[in-house]
A and B are shown apart, each in its own frame.
Chain A
Amino acid sequence: MQGVPLSVRKPSQTMAILAMCVVVILVFSVALKGFLTVGNLFALSRNISILGILALGMAIVVIGRGLDLSQVASLAVSTAIAIIVMNAGYPTAIALLIGLGLAIAIGVLNGFLISVVEMPPLLTTLASSLAVLGVTRTVAVQHYVVYLAKGHDDFLRLGGNIWGGVPAPVLVFIAMAILVHLFLSRTVLGRFVYAHGDNPDAARLTGLPTRPLTMMEYGLSAAIGYVGGVVMISETALMHLQVAESTLIFDVIMVVVLGGVSLVGGRGNVMSVVVGTLLIGVLLNGMTIMDMDVQTQNIIKGIVLLVAIVLDSYLNPRDEETSKQGD
C-alpha cells in the first residue's frame, strides 16, 4: 500500500467524512428551522475557524508521526504575553511578533526534546505544556485571565465581521488552509514531512535531516496555533489561560483524526482537516440550535470520534512498521 501515490489513496476517509457531513447538513436543513440561512452559516463558519486553524498546525505534526499536546498551552501563553506587551503601550505588530517568537521557541524546544533527546512526543508535549503554563502563571499572569486594555480597536477588527457580515476569522482560516496546503503539497520540505511520518527510519537513512525536520514540524504547529490564539483574543479581548486545561486540545486532535490525518503518520492533507472541522462545526452548531444538554452533546461527539478511529484503523491498519508508543 505504501507505494500508492498519496493523492490516490488518501481521500478515502476524507470522502467518507465528507459524505457524513453532507448527510448531517441535509438532515439539519430539513429538520432545523434557521439552520440553512446565510447568517447561521456565517456564525457556523466563525465558530469553526479557530478550531480549524489549530487543526492545521496539529496536522503537520501528526503527518510527521508526532503529537503536540502543548499546542493550546503554548498559544495561550504566547498570546497572553502579547496582550501584556500590547497593554504596556508597545505597537500591536511588535507585541504580536514577540508572541509569535515565543510560540515558535516553545515549539522548537519540543522538537528538540523529541528528536535530539529522543523523548516520546506524548510525554514531552504534556510536560512542556505544564511547564510553560506554570512559568507564565508564576511570572506574568497570576490570575489566569489577562484582558486587553481599551484602545486596540483596529486589532479587535480581526475578530469582527467584514463586508456583508462575513466573519474575518473565516478568512484567516481560509488563508492559513491555502498556505499549509501549498506548503505540504508543493514544497520539498512539505514532502519531507510526509516521508518523515511515513517511515522515519527510511527517511533518515535516505539522508533527510529528521531532527531539524521534527523541530520545524513542532515549531510550525506552535506558530499556526499562535495564529489561532491571536484570532481568539481578537474575538474576546482577553486570554484565559485555563483554555490550556480545557478539552480544546482533544477537540483539535479529534478534528485532525476525524478528517483522515492518521495517527500512524504520513497520511492525510489539508482537505482532511477542513472536512473534519466542518463536520464537528456543523454538529456543534446544530446541537446548539436544538439547545441540547451537554451530556447528549458529549455522547454524540464521543460516538463520532469512535467512528473516526474505527475508520482510521480499518483504513490504516497498525503493523510493525507504523507501531509506536501509546498504541
Chain B
Amino acid sequence: MSKTSGMRKLLWSGIAASVLALSAIAATPAKAAEAREELRAQFDKDLKGKTVAWVPVWLGVLESEWTRVMKAHFDDYGMKLEVRDANFKSDVQLQAVSELINERPDVLVVQNPNVTLLAKELKRAMDAGIYVVQVNMASNTLTDAYVGVDAKDMGRRLAKNIIGDCGGGKGSGEISILEGEATAAYSLDMKNGAMEVFKTDPSIKVVSSQPTSWDANKAGEVTATVLQQHPDLCGILSVWGPQAAGAAQVIKAAGKSDKTKIYVASDGQPADCDLLEQGAFYRNLSYRADTQGEAIADAVIGLLQSGDKPGTKRLAFYTVPAWVNSKDDRAYCFTVPKDAK
C-alpha cells in the first residue's frame, strides 16, 4: 500500500515536473526572441545619436586608418564621429580638447603627444561626465579606457630579438637606436624598454641613440655618421618605419645591406611591409591599425553601454604586436580599402 502510494506520488511529481518542463520549453522561444530584441533595442538606445569626439596628434597613415575603422563602426550604429586634426601642434590639440569638453560629446577619444599635455583636461572631461579613451599612449591621468600598444614592451621585444642576432659573438654587438621626436613619450618609452634589455647583455654596445624628428633625411644623416665610426654596426633599432627608410638607403649606398640590419617598430602601415619585402628592413615588430581601430570602437561602445559614471573604470586593451619577417607576414600590415576616403 505504502509502496503504491509512493509510486503514485512519484508518478504525479514526475508528471508535474514534465508539465513544468514542457511549459518552460514552450515558453522559451517567445521569451528568448523578446530578449534578443531587447538586447538590440538596449544597444540602440545606449548608442544611437551618441557623439564621439576624436583628437589625434595628426592624421597620418596610422591615425587615418583608426579613423576610418571607427567611422565605419559608428556610422553603422547611428553614432556621430567628430574629428579634430591637431596636425602635430600641441597648442592646437590642447585647445581642441578644451573646446570639445564644452561641447559635451558622450565620449572623448584622444591620442596623447606626451604624458602631460592633456592630463588635466582629460580629468576635467571625466568630471564633466564625458567618457575618455586614450589611444596608443596613456597620459599621467588614467581614464576610463586605454587602447594601444605598450611601447616599452615593444622596445624590450625588439631588443631581445636584436640580441639574438647581434649579441654573444653572432655579430659585432654594436647597435644604433633611431628615436623619433626627442620629447615624444612613445619613442622615449620604447628606447627605455630596449635599453633595459640591452644593458643586461655585456656583448651589446649601444653606440648611438639619436632623435630624428621622424625625418628620414635626419635618420640617414645620423646613420651615415655612425656607420663611419662603427663600420661593423650590426643592428639599427628604429621606433618608426618611414624614418628608417632614410637609414636603409644610406646602408644600401654604403654596400652594407647584409651586415647592418634594420629592426623597425612598425604601426603596420603598408609601406613598412613593402620596404621589408624589398630588403630595406630586416624585421618589423608590427601592430595593425585596423584591428586597433576596432578595439577603440569596442572600448567606446563598451563604455556607453556600461552605465558607469565616467571616471570610475580603468579598462586597458593592449595591442599584441607580431613579427614581420617576409612577405608571408603581410597580414600584419593593414591594407587601406580602395574605396576608403
Interface residues of A (CB under 8 A from B): 34, 37, 39-40, 42-44, 46-47, 50, 142-145, 147, 150, 156, 159-161, 167, 232, 235-238, 240, 242-243, 245-247, 284-285, 288-289, 291, 294-295
Asked if residues B245 and A43 are in contact (CB atoms below 8 Å), the reply is: no
Residues on B with beta carbons closer than 8 Å to the beta carbon of A37: 228
Q: Which residues of B contact A147 (CB under 8 A)?
A: 245, 271, 274
Q: Is the CB of B64 within 8 A of A245?
A: no
Task: Give per-residue flags for B253-287: 1 if the beta carbon is below 8 A from chain A beta carbons, else 0.
Answer: 11000000000000000010010001000000000
Q: By the criterion CB–CB under 8 Å, are A47 and B210 in contact?
A: no
- Interchain nearest-CB distance for B105 vs A (Å): 25
Contact of A291 with B245 at beta-carbon distance under 8 Å, contacts A47-B224, A240-B214 already known: no
B interface residues, Cβ below 8 angstroms from A: 58-61, 64, 87-88, 182, 207-211, 213-217, 220-222, 224-229, 231, 242, 245-246, 249-250, 252-254, 271, 274, 278, 341
Which single member of A34, A40, A150, A237 contacts B245 (CB below 8 Å)?
A237
> Given known contacts A232-B217, A240-B216, A288-B210, is B242 in contact with A145 (CB within 8 Å)?
yes
25 pairs, A vs B, C-beta closer than 8 Å: A34-B228, A37-B228, A39-B231, A40-B225, A42-B228, A43-B224, A47-B224, A50-B217, A142-B64, A142-B341, A143-B64, A145-B242, A150-B278, A159-B253, A235-B250, A236-B217, A237-B245, A242-B88, A242-B214, A245-B88, A246-B215, A288-B210, A288-B225, A289-B229, A291-B209
The answer for the CA separation of A327 and B210 in the assembled complex, in Å, is 35
User: Which B residues are in CB contact (< 8 Å) with A50?
Assistant: 217
Chain B contact residues: over half helix, strand or loop, or mixed?
A: helix
- Distance A156 CA – B278 CA, assembled complex (angstroms): 15
Asked if B215 contacts A288 (CB within 8 A), the reply is no
**Which of A144, A160, A238 contacts B253 (CB under 8 A)?**
A160
Contacts of A245 in B (CB 8 A): 87-88
Which residues of B have CB within 8 Å of A47? 221, 224-225
* Whole-angstrom CA separation of A159 from B247 in the bound complex: 12
Question: Which residues of chain B come closer than 8 Å to A144, judged between CB atoms?
Answer: 58, 60-61
A159 to chain B: closest CB distance in Å? 6
Contact flag A291-B207 (CB < 8 Å), given A47-B224, A236-B245: yes
- Minimum CB–CB distance from B251 to chain A (whole Å) comes to 11
A143 near B88 with CB under 8 A, answer no
Interface centre among A39, A42, A150 (most CB of B within 10 A): A39
